[in-house]
Amino acid sequence: MKHFAKLIRTIDSTNKTNEKVNALAEYFNIANDSDKLWAIAILSHRRPKRPVNTTLLREWATEQSGIPLWLFEESYHIVGDLAETIALILPKTTKESDKSLSQVIAEIISLREMDDASKKAYLHENWMNMSYYERFIFNKIITGGFRIGVSQKLMTRALSKSTGIDEDILAYKLMGDWTPVSTTYTQLIEEENPSDYLSKPYPFYLAYAVEDGFQESMGEISNWSFEHKWDGIRAQVILRNNEVFVWSRGEELVTDKYPEFQRFLDHIPNGTVLDGEILPFPDGRIGDFRDLQTRIGRKNISKNLLAKTPVILVAYDLLEWQGEDIRNKPFSFRRKILDAMIAKLNSESIGLFLSSTMRFEKWESAAEERKRSREKRSEGLMIKRIDSSYQVGRKKGDWWKWKVDPFTIDAVLTYAMRGHGRRANLYTDYTFGLWDNGELVTFAKAYSGLTDKELREIDAWIKKNTLERFGPVRSVTPHHVFEIAFEGIAKSSRHKSGVATRFPRILRWRRDKKIDEANTLSDLKDLIPK
């Protein structure tokens, strides 16, 4: 625990990626195998199940601090992070934990089985025997969501530095649904064990968004293949050894959520890995992303739901064929096999579609096609270099996304809430309203899109122009107009405005506009596709 706490403290004390990598590599050099394995697990968001619910956690921390519960809640609103709040408000100690990271986690796991009184006693004793950083980490492990400015990529780089194993190979080894309970450091990192690879996906290759005027630097347009960019769940469907495995981009094994793909088994040979998009397909046509949300959240997929919102796979790449990893072959080669395979099948009857490739002679023609995106239910175009290999992670150069311009509308700031994490203590989460019969009706919440300077300015304004406070939320005088962008729009009975928007965010602060120049709710409704 001491070493891990020191590591997190060091990472917390620098903004420089190289220093973070060095500190991590140093940790991997000195820690024992079980600590290393847990460190890797935690930093790749594989945490033990939460042994105590947060309500009890707050109560017990509050009790030990001798403060009233409401004061804890107020502090939590301001600090913005539960683990950090608890670490801060507990009485100070000068102690350090003498347990190892893996021992602490083993205890946290066994805590699940204990009764509440024993859980409480355990926490009270351990909180008072840890340094501030140990306490913070301990709480983070218990509450989950270990986000501390170390991405999985950065951790993989450090591990590569420490072990000498290639970064891409490590990324591959670290994928899948292993836990430190089901494997060991040696098995996971050091050993070559082909049977482990049965369900393993490949790291996804992700595209960068193009910038304005990108066409200039792309060279010959004949080097590029175009497709529509589908708005669903990025997924790999793996067929090996007469089994189907479905992985989402978040490295989550989601096979059970999409039983439709079991049909692939009778039609597609073993040793095939498809990369594509899972899309909702109600009434025989591509649906809205919101249809898919009814599927994402469910553990048990009822017959009813399957019938109402079936899904399909729109395949756009082939990563493995006849048991061979073909990611290093050119895109055109991979597509040739994929297209031929699908052509031979009556594939649409089993829910497998092909993302058609297009070639253009002029950028203007590509732009014309991009304009048709919304009617084709896509969110723009993908541009892929025809001889590109399938790379690991987000890399610039060979794959680009050229999204359609978002919808935009001018709305009035009506409520503000304190942010979390990096933005704790600043009012950064905003609610916006549109005019409807002389009243402002809430239509969206948004928080990203302002510069730090603008954030501080609007934060100061909010603090001075508060009408009412409701816990962490303040209503403010309607005064500022913001241009809000969003990706999708649909009717909704769940929203007061009757409209749901997808991924709303602030595009710009319209200081030039007065509130009576903001848009109306009926302007917004006009944007809903007919």
DSSP 208-272: EEP-TTGGGGS--GGGEEEEEEE-SEEEEEEEETTEEEEEETTS-B-GGG-GGGGGGGGTS-SSE
Residue number with CB closer to another protein (71 or 467): 71
**Rounded-to-integer distance, Cα 48 and Cα 58, Å:** 19
Site for another protein contains 69 (CB under 8 A): no
Least CB distance to another protein at residue 6 (A): 14
Residue number with CB closer to another protein (161 or 423): 423
CA 124 to chain centre: 34
Residue number with CB closer to another protein (275 or 459): 459
Helices 69-79 and 54-65 cross at an angle (nearest 10°) of: 110
- The binder of another protein chosen from 250, 421, 471, 529 (CB under 8 A): 421
Q: Please list, residue by residue across 53-68, b when 16 or more beta carbons sit within 10 angstroms of its beta carbon and e when fewer do.
A: eeeebbebbbebbeee
Site for another protein in 351-390 (CB under 8 A): none
Candidates 30-38, 303-311, 394-402, 420-428 — which segment interacts with another protein by CB under 8 A? 420-428
- The binder of another protein chosen from 49, 303, 422, 530 (CB under 8 A): 422
Residues 6+ apart with CB under 8 A from 509: 450, 454, 458, 480, 482, 483
Site for another protein contains 317 (CB under 8 A): no
**Rounded-to-integer distance, Cα 152 and Cα 43, Å:** 6
How many residues are present in the chain?
530
- The binder of another protein chosen from 2, 234, 423, 445 (CB under 8 A): 423
Site for another protein contains 254 (CB under 8 A): no
CB 485 within 8 A of CB 408: yes
Site for another protein contains 527 (CB under 8 A): no
CB 218 within 8 A of CB 224: yes
What is the enclosing helix (H) or strand (E) of 64? Answer: helix 54-65
Candidates 271-279, 389-397, 452-460, 511-519 — which segment interacts with another protein by CB under 8 A? 452-460
Q: DSSP label at 83? A: H
- The binder of another protein chosen from 25, 88, 301, 404 (CB under 8 A): 88
Residue number with CB closer to another protein (7 or 326): 7
Residue number with CB closer to another protein (299 or 469): 469
Site for another protein in 493-522 (CB under 8 A): none
- The binder of another protein chosen from 362, 371, 456, 491 (CB under 8 A): 456
Neighbours of 8 (CB within 10 A): 23
Site for another protein contains 63 (CB under 8 A): no
Residue number with CB closer to another protein (84 or 398): 84
Residue number with CB closer to another protein (18 or 242): 18
Residue number with CB closer to another protein (249 or 456): 456
- The binder of another protein chosen from 75, 93, 183, 497 (CB under 8 A): 75
Return phi, psi of residue 351, to 5°: 80, 25
Residues 6+ apart with CB under 8 A from 461: 479, 480
Give me the residues that bind another protein (CB under 8 A), please.
Answer: 12-16, 65, 67-68, 70-72, 74-75, 78-81, 84-85, 88-89, 92, 149, 419-426, 452-453, 456, 459-460
